[in-house]
Structures are given as structure tokens and as C-alpha cells.
Amino acid sequence: MSNNAIDPSEERDASGIREVTYKKAATREEAPATEVSRTSVQNVEAETVMMNRSNSQTIKGSRVVMERSGARSIEASSTQMDQSGVVSLGSDNAVLLQSRAVQVVAEEARLNRSHVLFMSTQKAEIENSQIVLFAGSATGDVKTLFTPVTAAIAGAGMGVVLVLFGALVRSIFGRN
């Protein structure tokens, strides 16, 4: 959240959630946001969501900024994660900095020192990151363990191994 200036005069309620104004990094114009800091919440839905050292089940908003936070599900037009984690991320534009995700579906994504299990994107910029299964187009330091083609080949190979193992077990123990 270093790109945003928050009015320090605004008071936080006991739940760790407050309405704030911040300055957008590019235009420096003020915009309202919902800030969640040092707390756990079930759901957050706002135009702009800013999370710091918090976690949430679901987050929905146009812009989501997370720092040292976690979420089960995020749906946003723009998402920036810094040292954070998410299970499922759906976003038009996603930036992951030293973050982890199980599933990322985005039009455009940028990863720096991050780890993703499944990623589908039209355009990705990858730097010092790891992706296990990737579908889309990427530039940069791409390190994927499986592409859709290699995953299909690995799955077929595993299927053959299971069929042979099943036949071996049936031949040893017989059928009743």
C-alpha cells in the first residue's frame, strides 16, 4: 500500500475495518476505499479494497490491494498482491509480488518472485517465479513444470501405469 496515501485522522473501528480516502498512484486524485487491517473478515465487497495483515473468505471489488494478507477468493478488475496468498483469483489485471496463489485467471498478469499452481492468462510477464500448469502467452523468466500438452501426456502416462498396476493386482490376488 505504499503507493496510496491514507488520511491518518480517520479512526479505525474495533473490527479493523474502516472507510478511507487514498491518493491513486498515477493521477494522485483522491478516491474512497475500504481498508481492512489486522483482522479476519468473512466477506469484503467495495469499489476499492485495501488489506494489510488480514484475511478474508471472499473479496469483490474493482481494485484490490493486499499486503501480507490472505483470501480464499478474489474477484476484481485489478488486483495487486504483495507478500500475500490466495486460493482463487479472477482479475482483468493481476500483479503478484512475492506472493502465492493456487489458481489465477486473468487477462494480463505480472509475477515477480511468486508461486502459482494453475494460471490461465492471455498475456503474462514472469520474473523469478514458478508456475506448475500454465495456459496462455508469457514473456520473461518462464519456469513451468507442465503446459496443457505435457499435462495431457503425463495424465495419459499415469493412466497407463494405473491400468497396468490394476492388472498386476488382479493377477496376483485373483478375481472373486
pLDDT along the chain (176 residues), means of 10: 36 65 74 83 89 93 94 96 97 97 97 95 94 89 75 92 93 76
Task: State residue 146's pLDDT score.
Answer: 72
Task: State residue 39's pLDDT score.
Answer: 82
Rounded to 10 degrees, the C-alpha dihedral 87/93/97/102 comes to: 20
User: What's the one-letter identity of residue 142?
Assistant: V
Residues with Cβ within 8 Å of 171's Cβ and at least 6 positions away in sequence, in order, are none
- The residues spanned by each domain of the chain are 17-142, 147-176
Task: State residue 125's pLDDT score.
Answer: 95
Residue 165: its H or E element: helix 148-173
pTM of the model: 0.73
- Could you tell me which of 23, 22, 20 has the C-alpha nearest to residue 37? 20
Sequence length of the chain is: 176
Placement of cell 480517520 in the chain: 10
